[in-house]
Amino acid sequence: MDGQRGNWSSNMGLILAATGSAIGLGNLWKFPFITWENGGGAFVLVYLICIAAVGLPIMMAELLIGRKTQKSAVGALKDAAGPMWGIVGAWGVLCGFILLSYYTVIAGWSLFYFSKSFGWMVSGFPSGMAMGDLFGEQSSNGALQLGLSFGFSIATVSVVYLGVQKGIERIARTFLPVLGVILVLLLFSALRMSGSGEALVFIFQPNFNELEPVAILEALGHSFFTLSLGMGCMVTYGSYISKTQSVVKASATIVLLDTLIALIATVIMFSVIFSVPGMEEQVGGSTVGMLFISLPELFFTEVPLGRFLGPLFYVLVALAALTSTISLLEVVTSYVIDEHGLARQKATLMCGGTVFIFTILAAISFGAVSGVSNLVVPGAIGETLFGGKIGWFSMADHFVSNWMLPTGGFAVTIAAGWFMTREDTMNELVDGTQPSWFRYGAWRFFIRFVAPTAIAAIIIAVMIFGVDFS
Ligand code: TRP
């Protein structure tokens, strides 16, 4: 299959595509919310430490495994660490499959809010509209949900169908700059609002009294999700790097950009929220609350030029989500291409179609079909693996965030730190030069000791104490 494997056209191609994968709903939807829930500054600081001490080393590990083996998740882990490690790769492929099935549904909501806010931009915001009700109506409307997520799936499949350079890289090259421009526009507008000072203090001034110990694990868990780690996604993207491209520079850039965007998104959202009296109490409830209930209205009632920025914001969410769904489908597709010898086009349609069957389950699990919305796995297994969650969407999210990503990430640290030899990994990271401790030893120390210990703490917290990070 060698001749058929794609390659990024340059280091920039990899960086853009991987950054596109990393930046997604995790940055715009989850990070602001958990920062809010965990009291701001101290949590942000802990998160930054987790990103640097655990996220960055694992990013390097995944990319280097891909670059070394030039294979997607299953084949790469087998080649790098031994035949049994194929199971870890397969676990990752399964994780990508499940994650994609429900991620697409939230991505679909951004399309809904884009079309709504575009309508309001043209014909004015309907005063007195209850945004909570609007959210409930759209999410429980089965036909609408199926339509939205089908549209999003088609977009995802089309890009992956076109391949590494013509599809994935080209979309990232076009969309990431657009995303950056929209975000900067929003940031300027938000910083001019009255609440921006308070927002900046909340986000950047650590107050450790607010921080509960379990928040540390939550920050760590989120660093996997936001960097697309723990399921072979970066292994797969790394397998398209040519041997002349640097894993270290790419990893550092991806991690920095992802973190920057998460922080900017948080500054934007909190500036808006702190500018509106009484909003702080209302936002509380849930992750969806902030992005899809509070913000849509605030764009039209509070934000300077919000009429125009509102629709743009939801375009931003949709684009960010699309570059992430692409990476998820690519993990599954490239596995089928590499291990089962299918042509890309056929593999993409097959994988995209199969995932969509589960997307249907997720799409109708918000009240549209009661049997699916009320689905539970009873007993101890349901409680342990799914946290007693109700409905496919919540169950899948729980299982992926609490079990699949941490165990997958843990396995990658062991593969790269303990099963691959020093020479193996050193060759990929420093390309034959004799490295100083800082250039190689530091990474090896973090991947062998720091990262696995930290992740083990997550797994123990989930297993023994039933902590929920989803
Ligand atoms: N990182 C993306 C986000 O923040 C989601 C994502 C894409 C992902 N690919 C992944 C998460 C692989 C885990 C693993 O929204």
Q: Encode pLDDT of 167-221 as tens digits.
A: 999 999 999 999 999 999 999 999 999 999 999 999 999 999 878 888 999 999 9
Instruction: Report the chain's mean pLDDT, rounded to a whole number.
Output: 92
Nearest to 168 by CA among 339, 317, 19, 314: 19
Averaged pLDDT for residues 101-107: 96
Cα 192 to averaged position of ligand 1 atoms, centre (Å):
31
Q: For ligand 1, what atom is nearest to the CA of residue 24? A: 15
Where residue 74 sits, what CATH number does that domain have? 1.20.1740
What pLDDT does 285 receive? 57
Is residue 470 a part of any domain in this protein?
no
Domain assignment of residue 180, given as a range:
2-465
Averaged pLDDT for residues 295-303: 87
Residue 183 to residue 263: CA distance in whole angstroms? 11
What pLDDT does 280 receive? 72
Is residue 187 a part of any domain in this protein?
yes
The answer on pLDDT for 431 being more than 50 is: yes
Q: For ligand 1, what atom is nearest to the CA of residue 226? A: 4
Q: Encode pLDDT of 335-356 as tens digits.
A: 999 999 999 999 999 999 999 9
Name the percent of the chain lying above pLDDT 90. 73
If one counts every other C-beta atom within 10 angstroms of the C-beta of residue 213, the result is 7
Please tell me the residue having the least CA distance from ligand 1 atom 10: 228
Cα 358 to averaged position of ligand 1 atoms, centre (Å):
18
Q: Which residues line ligand 1 (CB under 6 A)?
A: 21-22, 24-27, 99, 225-226, 228, 231, 233, 324, 327-328, 405
Cα 294 to averaged position of ligand 1 atoms, centre (Å):
24
Among 128-137, 220-229, 275-284, 390-399, the range of highest mean pLDDT: 220-229
Nearby residues of 287 by Cβ (< 8 Å), 6 or more positions away: 29, 30, 33
Choice from 27, 327, 469 to test ligand 1 binding pocket (greatest atom count within 8 A of CB): 327
Nearest to 180 by CA among 330, 359, 27, 326: 27
Contact 256, 23 (CB under 8 A): no
Is residue 428 a part of any domain in this protein?
yes
Nearest to 356 by CA among 141, 125, 47, 107: 107
Q: Kindly report whether the global pTM for this prediction surpasses the value 0.75.
A: yes
Residue 60 to residue 12: CA distance in whole angstroms? 16
50 three-state secondary structure: helix
Count structural domains, the chain.
1
Cα 300 to averaged position of ligand 1 atoms, centre (Å):
30
Cα 301 to averaged position of ligand 1 atoms, centre (Å):
32
The answer on pLDDT for 2 being more than 70 is: no
- Helix and strand numbers (H, E) in the chain are 26, 0
Residue 81 to residue 388: CA distance in whole angstroms? 35
What's the token pair of residue 365? 């699990």
Please tell me the residue having the least CA distance from ligand 1 atom 13: 228
Is residue 127 a part of any domain in this protein?
yes
Nearest to 173 by CA among 184, 159, 161: 159
Contact 324, 21 (CB under 8 A): yes
3-state helix, strand, coil in the chain (%, to 5): 80, 0, 20
> What does residue 114 show for φ and ψ, rounded to 5 degrees?
-65, -50
Is residue 405 a part of any domain in this protein?
yes
Q: Encode pLDDT of 13-31 as tens digits.
A: 999 999 999 999 999 989 9
What's the token pair of residue 276? 């509106």
Residue 76 to residue 240: CA distance in whole angstroms? 12
